[in-house]
Amino acid sequence: MNTFLSSSQEALKEQYEKYAAEEIQPAAKDLEQGKTSLKEFLQKLGQTGFLGLTIAKEYGGASGSFLEQSLFVEAASEYEAGLGLSLSAHFQVVELLKRYGDDRQKSRYLPLLARGEAVGAFCLNEEKAGSDYSLIESEASTKKESPKLNGKKLWVVNGNIATVLVVAAKDEETGKLALWLVDANDSKTVKVTAGPKKLGLRSASTDQIEFIDAKLAEGSKLEGDGKEQIEFALDVAKTILAMASIGMSQGAMKLAVEHAKTRQQFGKNIGAFQGIQWKLADMSADVSAARMLALRAAWAFDESKEEFRKFAAMAKLLSSKAARLHTGEAIQVMGASGIVEDCPTERFYRDAKMMEICQGTSELQKVVIAEELKV
């Protein structure tokens, strides 16, 4: 499935796949069960250069493209999609800083984020503000001499390990939403509570963060239109999560194909039955189609930006749907052996459903696509 990648992108893809098979595959189950520390794992990825793929060399990154970064997430998620979710939050912060940060903000945070010495988290959702983030109540009291942030955020990926938080809150002065950079180093004013145990994507925790008069340092606001910045951050996450959904679908498909080639019933490999072949054919076609869309979105990010929003939404919509459907079909092909904890398909099946909710539900992707069609 190598489509229209350049030869250097193909080479990187192979390098990422090799790394994922050797380093991520053996750790996948322990990451999901919390036996391997995600924070330490991310630090290792940072030291190897995978957290700064799109960060400029002057800030310690690889100056690579968003498409290349997406290929890394795809390779990683073939074994552990929860890691893909964690990376999506980290990369949201990276891309926001690259696009909207000033020189001071970039030089302060990007080198730390590139090396994995700091992990990023994007804090948008609140109890009342789910899909409709205009209902955000968190507020930055910018009129005061020493600005402070107050509010409570839910479902924050990397919440318990991140030190660079990008927080959506109303600016008291303008009444408009804005994004603020907050250092999560004072546990009295930035209070993190572990999120609930959830269906899937368990290696990435989704935590509650309360800001209680949290100090906003000078220059902590990302300058620009807050709504545009939030939409940009969501589009970044959608593309990365689309690649994560595709990665896990491919992981499930490989296991199902292998099983179909080796499991004998009624005197034949089950792969000889048309009923099994059609499942695998549908899987391959749907996942390939979703992958084309996700790569198209990543390409739009790098090359044109114009249609990025539409392709990001379409890629997230179709890749998460394909993942939900086909991780289930992979289990069907594998029979009972696919539902046991030791088989990755069991985890992929739980992970896949989550992808239809996080960073914008499937219904909201359709809202965005319709908006882009200007109906």
Which residues make up the interface to ligand FAD (CB under 6 A)?
89, 122-125, 130-131, 153, 155-157, 201, 206, 354, 357-361, 363-364, 367
Q: How far apart are CB 195 and ligand FAD at their closest, in Å?
A: 9
Q: Which is nearer to ligand FAD, 292 or 369 (CB)?
A: 369
Residue 313 carries which side chain, given as an amino acid letter?
Answer: A
Q: Which is nearer to ligand FAD, 243 or 276 (CB)?
A: 243
Pick between residue 65 and residue 365 the one whose CB is nearest to ligand FAD. Answer: 365
CB of 11 to ligand FAD, least distance (A): 32
CB atoms within 10 A of CB 105: 18
Helices (H), the chain: 7-19, 28-32, 38-48, 66-77, 81-100, 103-115, 226-262, 274-303, 308-334, 344-354, 362-372
Please tell me the total number of residues recorded for the chain in this structure.
375
| Residue closer to ligand FAD (CB basis): 157 or 260 | 157
Report the nearest approach of ligand FAD to the CB of residue 99 (Å). Answer: 18
Kindly tell me which of 89 and 295 has the beta carbon lying closer to ligand FAD: 89
Question: Quick one: 157 or 181, whose CB is closer to ligand FAD?
Answer: 157
Q: Which two tokens stand for residue 73?
A: 């997430």
d(CA 215, CA 283): 50
The nearest distance, CB 225 to ligand FAD, in angstroms, is 19
C-alpha to C-alpha distance for 74 and 70, rounded to whole angstroms: 6
Tokens of 225: 């239109």
In the complex, residue closest to ligand FAD by CB: 130
What are the tokens at 341?
Answer: 């904890």
Residue 188, class by beta-carbon neighbours within 10 Å (0-12 exposed, 13-18 middle, 19+ buried)?
exposed
| CB of 223 vs ligand FAD, minimal distance in Å | 21
CA dihedral 346, 347, 352, 353 (to 10 degrees): 80
Return the number of the residue (166 or 295) whose C-beta is nearest ligand FAD.
166
Nearer CB in complex with ligand FAD: 36/361: 361
Q: Are 117 and 39 in contact (CB under 8 A)?
A: no
Which tokens go with 31?
A: 């990451």
Nearer residue to ligand FAD within complex by CB, 55 or 165:
165
Exposure string for 138-170, b = 16+ CB within 10 A, e = fewer: bbbbbeeeebbbbbbbbbbbbbbbbbbbbbbbb
The string of DSSP codes covering 191-247 is EEEPPPP-SS-TTS-EEEEEEEEEE--TT-EEPS-HHHHHHHHHHHHHHHHHHHHHH
- Rounded least distance, CB 282 to ligand FAD, Å: 25
- Residue among 298, 290, 292 at smallest CA distance from 319: 290
Q: How far is the CB of 156 from ligand FAD (least distance, A)?
A: 5
In whole angstroms, the minimum distance from the beta carbon of 247 to ligand FAD comes to 16
Minimum distance of ligand FAD from residue 270's CB (angstroms):
34
87/42 Cα distance (integer angstroms)? 9
